[in-house]
Amino acid sequence: MRVAFVGKGGSGKTTLSALFSRHLARSGAPVLAIDGDINQHLAEALGGVEESAPPLGAHLPEIKDFLRGDNPRIPSAEAMIKTTPPGRGSRLLRPLGDDELHARHVGRAGGVPLMVTGEFDESDLGVACYHSKLGAVELYLGHLLDGPGEYVVVDMTAGADAFASGLFTRFDMTFLVAEPTRKGVSVYRQYRDHAEQFGIRIAVVGNKVTGEDDLLFLKEQVGDDLLTHLEQSPWVRAAEQGRTAPGPDALASLEPHNRHALGVLREAVDSHPRDWDRLHRHAVELHLRNVRAWADARTGEDLAGQVDPEYVPGPAAPA
Ligand SMILES: Nc1ncnc2c1ncn2[C@@H]1O[C@H](COP(=O)(O)OP(=O)(O)OP(=O)(O)O)[C@@H](O)[C@H]1O
Ligand SMILES: [Mg+2]
C-alpha cells in the first residue's frame, strides 16, 4: 500500500511520514520510506542516517533501463517518460525485493529502509525542475507490485506543488496534514478539488493540535474528511533536539494520543484494498495527457503506443 503525506509547508509532513513509518516498522510490517521533497529531511526525522544510498534522481536513465526490461513498446530509456506505464516485458518489482534497484538505492535511517530522490542541486538550476527527479519515484511506484500489509510511505513537496507531477495518482491513500489555521486548511481545499477529479482517496490529519478550540476549528473547516489528529508533541520536540533514542522502539514513549492516531492512519490505509484496474486506468489516462501535452513533441515519437492495451500490472499480470 502506498501512502503520501502532503500539506502546507511546515505543517508536519516529514514528521508524520517518519512517525508513521516507524510505527509500521515497529509492528514488524515491511515498510519503505521515500523522501520526495526538495529539501531532504526525512532521514533526520527518522532518527538519522545509518546507511546512505545514492539518490534516485541522479540515476534516472539507469532506472528507466532497468524498469523497461525487454518491453518491446519501450525501445530506449530516452523514449521512457515518467508516466510510461509498464507492459509485457517490463520489470515489476516487489517492495524491498531482491533486485538491482533496491540493492542500489535503499539505505536506512532510524531502523527504517529509506530511498531518497535527492536534493535539487546547483546543476539543476535553470535546466531541470524537481519534478524530473520525482519522476523516478513515479516510475518506481508505477512498476511496484505491492500487496496488503506492505507499505511505501512518501514525504512529498509542500503545497499544491505535489499536483504538478502525476505522482499524486499513484497512492492508495493521501494524508493531508493540516494545522488548525486558515492557511493550514487552504491547501486542503485545493487538494480536495484535484483529488475528486482523479478519484483519489484523501484524508485530513490535523497536526499540532493544542486543545478543544483547535479541534473544533478543524472539524468546522474540514468536516468528515478529518480522519484524526496529532497533538502538539513534547516527544517530537525532544526528538528534534536529539533527546530520544533512535529506532522504532523509541515510539513506545510517544504520547498515547499520538500513538493512537498513528494506529488510526494505518487502519484507514488498510481498510480499502487496492483496485489495480482503476489504478492502471488512471496511470494510462495521465500518460496520454502527458503525451499530448509535451512528450510526443519532445521525443519525436508516438508515445501513446507505449500503452499495452491488454495489460494491467498486478498479481495477475502476464509475465
Ligand atoms: N505534532 C507535533 N508536535 C510538535 N512539533 C511538531 C509536530 N509536528 C511537527 N512538528 C514540528 O514542526 C516543524 C515542521 O515540521 P515538519 O518539518 O515535519 O513539516 P513539513 O511539513 O515537512 O515542512 P516542510 O514543508 O518544510 O517540508 C518541525 O520543527 C517539527 O518538529
Ligand atoms: Mg518536510
Least Cα distance to 109 among 54, 43, 41 occurs for 43
Does any ligand 1 atom lie closer than 6 A to the CB of residue 243?
A: no
Does any ligand 1 atom lie closer than 6 A to the CB of residue 236?
A: yes
Work out the burial of residue 318: count CB atoms within 10 Å of its CB; fewer than 13 is exposed, 13-18 middle, 19 or more buried. exposed
Please compute the mean of the pLDDT values over residues 107-120 and round it to a whole number.
92
pLDDT digits (tens, 9 = 90+) for 133-166: 788 999 999 999 999 999 999 999 887 666 767 8
Does any ligand 1 atom lie closer than 6 A to the CB of residue 207?
A: yes
> What pLDDT is stored for residue 118 in this prediction?
85
pLDDT digits (tens, 9 = 90+) for 1-24: 999 999 999 999 999 999 999 999
Domain ranges in the chain? 2-306
pLDDT at residue 96 above 60?
yes
Does any ligand 1 atom lie closer than 6 A to the CB of residue 208?
A: yes
Kindly give the number of the ligand 1 atom that is closest to the alpha carbon of 240: 31
pLDDT digits (tens, 9 = 90+) for 52-87: 999 998 899 999 999 999 999 999 999 999 999 999
Please compute the mean of the pLDDT values over residues 164-169 and round it to a whole number.
80
Does any ligand 1 atom lie closer than 6 A to the CB of residue 17?
A: no
Report yes or no: 2 and 121 within 8 Å, Cβ to Cβ.
no
CATH (residue range 2-306) = 3.40.50.300
- Which position has the grid cell 542516517? 49
- CB atoms near residue 103 (< 10 Å): 10
What's the gap in Å between 13 CA and the centre of ligand 1? 7
Report yes or no: 178 and 11 within 8 Å, Cβ to Cβ.
yes
Q: Rounded to the nearest 10 degrees, what angle do helices 212-222 and 182-198 cross at?
A: 30
Q: C-alpha grid cell for residue 281?
A: 486506468
What's the gap in Å between 97 CA and the centre of ligand 1? 31
At a CB cut-off of 8 Å and minimum separation 6, what does 317 contact? 86, 92, 145, 311
- Distance CA(115)–CA(113), nearest Å, equals 7
- Distance CA(207)–CA(7), nearest Å, equals 11
Please compute the mean of the pLDDT values over residues 247-256 and round it to a whole number.
88
What's the gap in Å between 196 CA and the centre of ligand 1? 27
Q: What is the mean pLDDT of the chain?
A: 91
> What pLDDT is stored for residue 17 in this prediction?
98
pLDDT at residue 125 above 80?
no
